[in-house]
């Protein structure tokens, strides 16, 4: 039986090498007064910024530029919103990594409000955003968070009372997502690795989520099929290969669509709590926990007996996929589950994903982390001891 599900809208997607150029024809359809949100230096170093700004000038498009450094905090959103609120913007365009795409999304949403974004963050403020926003176009330059297709923007304040929480509304899904793999070619191996594992984690967690539907299953599976072929290549010999970058970009895009509709699991539960307490890149938390958390989930599903079978079968389908098999024989479910864990462990090693200890996280921090961690839509129920084991094994 297909369980009941709902599926929110997705952005209008424009995908393909060189597709950035369509941005210049799309912008005038929204108006002539736009805000471009970009990152630190990489877009400028690659020469792309000069190209973009000169074309916009040639087309007499009136634009302001805002540079976002690091993962967005409430101040990083509130300050530019205060500055641009009365400028009658027609459109916000975010061009950059996950932080930039999230920041642009949050800015376009907060431009219609008078107070701080903190008041609208889940579990932080007590207001609910109504979805009113300035139109927003997302142009990712990394393949990771999938923010180009999600309805939320993640905002962090790091410290002992820190948080990493979402501004969320169905209407915050970007109006248009332009996915141009050419923009990802210059992304360095360490970032490609962390982002790629973030995307794969999102696809996997959505696929095994109890909230999964046939739509998210079909999409997550196709995303894992392509990213699993390209993830190691994107961080090594295939970094300049447009096919490799396309497959990773596709995985990221799809991971955003599937997480928005099927939710995520314990890895993202931990990424939220750890990311609020420590300065650690989001993709690294996901990547470092991926194999360990998957191992724990599989163990707990195995302990459940028949009840755990559907969850195990889905993990096995991914394990089979990773060795190029699409049929998952019932008598090989455990074998394919082991294959999944082995492959994820191999990726973590080959992609040189740091352990948590590298970012100052110690054994004595774990209880505080667990206290702030939600299970989200994890494939199986885990107790505090289970979660502690996952973190301990990656310290």
Binding to a second copy by CB under 8 A, coded x per residue (else -) over 230-249, reads ------------xx--xx--
Residue given tokens 């755990």 in the structure block: 308
Quote the DSSP letter at residue 115. Answer: S
Phi/psi-derived region of residue 10, left when phi > 0, alpha when psi is between -120 and 50, beta in every other case: beta
- Interface with a second copy (CB under 8 A), residue total 38
Name which position in 123, 159, 189, 214 contacts a second copy (CB under 8 A). 214
Regarding 325 and contact with a second copy (CB under 8 A), the answer is yes
Under 8 Å CB-to-CB from 317, ≥6 apart: which residues? 221, 328, 336
Q: Could you tell me which stretch among 85-93, 183-191, 213-221, 342-350 binds a second copy (CB under 8 A)?
A: 213-221
Q: For a second copy, which is the closer residue by CB, 258 or 348? A: 258
Q: Could you write out the three-class secondary structure of 123-171?
A: CCCCCCCCCCCCCEEEEECCCCCCHHHCCEEEEEECCCCCEEEEEECHH
Q: Could you tell me which stretch among 32-40, 41-49, 135-143, 220-228 binds a second copy (CB under 8 A)?
A: 220-228
Regarding 52 and contact with a second copy (CB under 8 A), the answer is no
Q: Could you tell me which stretch among 34-42, 196-204, 271-279, 319-327 binds a second copy (CB under 8 A)?
A: 319-327
Under 8 Å CB-to-CB from 76, ≥6 apart: which residues? 68, 70, 103
Name which position in 46, 112, 116, 222 contacts a second copy (CB under 8 A). 222
Regarding 101 and contact with a second copy (CB under 8 A), the answer is no
Under 8 Å CB-to-CB from 216, ≥6 apart: which residues? 5, 7, 206, 207, 209, 257, 258, 261, 262
Under 8 Å CB-to-CB from 386, ≥6 apart: which residues? 296, 300
Regarding 362 and contact with a second copy (CB under 8 A), the answer is no
Q: How far is CA 183 from the centre of its chain?
A: 17
Binding to a second copy by CB under 8 A, coded x per residue (else -) over 275-314, reads ----------------------------------------
Q: What is d(CA 247, CA 228) in angstroms, rounded to the nearest whole number?
A: 9
Regarding 381 and contact with a second copy (CB under 8 A), the answer is no
Regarding 226 and contact with a second copy (CB under 8 A), the answer is yes
Regarding 7 and contact with a second copy (CB under 8 A), the answer is yes
Binding stretches for a second copy (CB under 8 A): 1-19, 170, 213-215, 217-219, 221-222, 226, 242-243, 246-247, 250, 254, 325-327
């Amino acid at each position: 039986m297909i369980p009941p599900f709902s599926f929110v809208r997705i952005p209008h997607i424009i995908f393909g090498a060189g597709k950035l150029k369509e941005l210049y024809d799309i912008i005038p359809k929204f108006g002539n007064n736009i805000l471009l949100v970009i990152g630190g230096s990489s877009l400028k170093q690659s020469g792309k910024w000069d190209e973009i700004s000169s074309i916009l000038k040639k087309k007499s498009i009136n634009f302001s530029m805002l540079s976002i450094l690091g993962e967005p905090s409430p101040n990083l959103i509130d300050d530019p919103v205060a500055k641009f609120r009365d400028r009658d913007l027609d459109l916000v365009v975010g061009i950059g990594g996950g932080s930039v795409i999230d920041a642009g999304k949050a800015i376009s949403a907060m431009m219609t409000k008078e107070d701080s974004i903190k008041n609208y963050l889940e579990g932080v403020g007590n207001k609910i955003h109504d979805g009113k926003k300035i139109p927003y176009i997302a142009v990712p330059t990394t393949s990771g968070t999938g923010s180009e297709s999600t309805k939320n923007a993640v905002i962090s304040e790091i410290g002992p009372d820190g948080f990493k929480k979402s501004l969320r509304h169905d209407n915050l899904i970007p109006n248009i997502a332009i996915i141009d793999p050419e923009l990802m070619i210059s992304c360095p191996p360490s970032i490609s690795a962390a982002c790629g594992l973030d995307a794969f984690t999102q696809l996997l967690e959505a696929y095994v989520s109890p909230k999964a539907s046939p739509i998210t299953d079909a999409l997550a599976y196709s995303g894992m099929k392509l990213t699993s072929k390209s993830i190691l290549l994107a961080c090594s010999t295939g970094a300049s290969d447009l096919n490799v970058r396309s497959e990773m970009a596709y995985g990221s895009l799809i991971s955003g669509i599937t997480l928005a509709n099927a939710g995520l699991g314990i890895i993202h539960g931990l990424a939220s709590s750890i990311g609020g307490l420590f300065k650690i890149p989001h993709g690294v938390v996901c990547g470092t926990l991926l194999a360990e958390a998957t191992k724990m989930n599989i163990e707990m599903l195995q302990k459940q007996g028949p009840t755990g079978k559907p969850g195990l079968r889905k993990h096995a389908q991914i394990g089979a996929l990773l060795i190029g098999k699409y049929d998952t024989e019932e008598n090989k479910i455990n074998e394919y589950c082991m294959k999944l864990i082995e492959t994820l462990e191999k990726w973590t090693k080959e992609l040189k994903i740091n352990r948590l200890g590298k970012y100052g996280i110690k054994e004595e921090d774990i209880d505080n982390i667990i206290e702030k961690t939600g299970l989200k839509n994890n494939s199986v129920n885990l107790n505090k001891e289970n979660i502690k084991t996952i973190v301990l094994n990656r310290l």
